């Protein structure tokens, strides 16, 4: 999406992304169109929305198939008449934006099932690009994995990591990636967080990615004088949990996802271990 924007005549204007599936339904309209002061509980001040932020540029609506029906009508008005009204206001605002939408749903089927407006579907479906599944894109998997590795390593400050080992790359290429690019990005973020280094190894990847195989080799961390194994495991576990929580701003659901465990399990572990921010 960024490449399309960067190659367009609107490249000097903003590109604004909205994930329609990640914002609660009751907040999505305000997030898109803005709201007036007092429009709803908690609206202590007027606020412009993502449409206004994208003025002159591109508004990317990701997961458009998740947009509720009542909001689809207002999006259709935006596309057809280039106008909208903030929540709680009667004034009509004009806009000059390009709208690009993406979804992993079959919108033809959604229209047939009555879950997506037919008129909106045809209004959006002007230029249709079908992106192949990650498993069908050959060497793209390795290129994307290395890209996400660099991004995640930079965000987390892992300057000690040099890259991906050959075994890790082989496992990544062999996996069929049913979750596509989002799954690949998540796996790389988890691997960067957990890897001891100097490279991300196959055993740093989730078992399902490496085919459930056992670690190819264990890191050599045994001191000459021996260790207290239980205490060492406990300390290492605590460190990984705290890193995951710090990395996600103590969002337990996201931290649990990085660690490959259930949120309830993580909550219990944090409580039992007395871990605090």
Say what the pLDDT of residue 217 is.
44
One domain, residues 49 and 31: yes
What SS3 state is found at 151?
Answer: helix
One domain, residues 207 and 232: no
One domain, residues 208 and 234: no
Residues 172-187: b if buried by 16+ CB within 10 A, e if exposed: beebebeeebebbbbb
Q: Phi/psi of residue 50, each to 5°?
A: -70, -30
Are the CB atoms for 200 and 149 separated by under 8 Å? Answer: yes
In a domain, 8, yes or no: yes
Q: Which of 173, 192, 220 is the last residue of a domain?
A: 220
Rounded (10°) CA dihedral 179, 181, 186, 187: 80
Cα distances (Å, whole numbers) of residue 237 to 152, 185, 210:
21, 23, 21
One domain, residues 102 and 168: no
Q: Which of 72, 90, 124 is the last residue of a domain?
A: 124
Say what the pLDDT of residue 36 is.
92
Cis preceding-peptide flag for 15 (omega within 30 of 0): no
One domain, residues 109 and 185: no
One domain, residues 19 and 116: yes
Say what the pLDDT of residue 214 is.
41
In a domain, 130, yes or no: no
What SS3 state is found at 76?
Answer: helix
Specify the CATH number for the domain of residue 255.
1.10.10.60
In a domain, 190, yes or no: yes
Strand ordering across the sheet containing 15-19: 15-19, 58-62, 98-101
In a domain, 260, yes or no: yes
In a domain, 196, yes or no: yes
Structural domain span for residue 271: 223-277
In a domain, 241, yes or no: yes
Q: For the chain, how many structural domains are there in total?
A: 3
Specify the CATH number for the domain of residue 174.
1.10.8.60
One domain, residues 41 and 64: yes
How far apart, in whole angstroms, are the C-alpha atoms of residue 191 and residue 263? 19
In a domain, 169, yes or no: yes
One domain, residues 214 and 229: no
One domain, residues 146 and 213: yes
One domain, residues 14 and 90: yes
Specify the CATH number for the domain of residue 22.
3.40.50.300
Q: Which of 72, 103, 124 is the last residue of a domain?
A: 124
Say what the pLDDT of residue 221 is.
53
One domain, residues 208 and 230: no
Q: Which helix (H) or strand (E) holds 52?
A: helix 50-53
Specify the length of the chain in residues: 277
Start-to-end C-alpha separation, the chain:
36
Global pTM exceeds 0.75: no
Per-10-residue mean pLDDT for the chain, 277 residues long? 82 92 87 90 88 95 92 94 92 94 90 94 88 82 94 89 93 89 90 88 89 49 68 81 84 85 88 81
One domain, residues 92 and 191: no
In a domain, 45, yes or no: yes
């Amino acid at each position: 999406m960024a490449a399309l924007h960067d190659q367009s005549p609107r490249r000097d204007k903003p590109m604004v992304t909205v994930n329609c599936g990640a914002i609660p339904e009751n907040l999505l309209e305000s997030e898109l169109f803005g709201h007036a002061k007092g429009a709803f509980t908690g609206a202590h001040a007027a606020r412009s929305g993502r449409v206004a932020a994208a003025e002159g540029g591109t508004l990317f609506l990701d997961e458009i198939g998740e947009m509720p029906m009542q909001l689809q009508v207002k999006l259709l008005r935006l596309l057809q008449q280039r106008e909208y009204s903030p929540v709680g206001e009667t004034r009509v605002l004009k806009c000059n934006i390009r709208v690009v939408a993406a979804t992993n749903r079959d919108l033809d089927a959604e229209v047939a099932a009555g879950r997506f407006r037919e008129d909106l579907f045809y209004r959006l479906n002007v230029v249709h690009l079908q992106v192949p599944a990650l498993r069908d894109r050959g060497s793209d998997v390795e290129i994307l994995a290395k890209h996400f590795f660099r991004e995640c390593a930079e965000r987390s400050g892992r300057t000690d990591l040099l890259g991906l080992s050959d075994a890790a790359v082989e496992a990544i290429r062999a996996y069929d990636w049913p979750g596509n690019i989002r799954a690949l990005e998540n796996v790389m973020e988890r691997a960067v967080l957990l890897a001891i280094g100097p490279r991300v190894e196959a055993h740093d990847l989730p078992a399902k990615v490496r085919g459930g195989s056992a670690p190819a080799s264990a890191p050599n961390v045994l001191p000459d004088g021996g260790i207290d194994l239980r205490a060492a495991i406990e300390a290492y576990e605590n460190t990984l949990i705290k890193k995951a929580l710090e990395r996600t701003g103590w969002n337990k659901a996201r931290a649990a996802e990085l660690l490959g465990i259930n949120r309830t399990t993580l909550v219990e572990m944090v409580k039992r271990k007395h871990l605090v921010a």
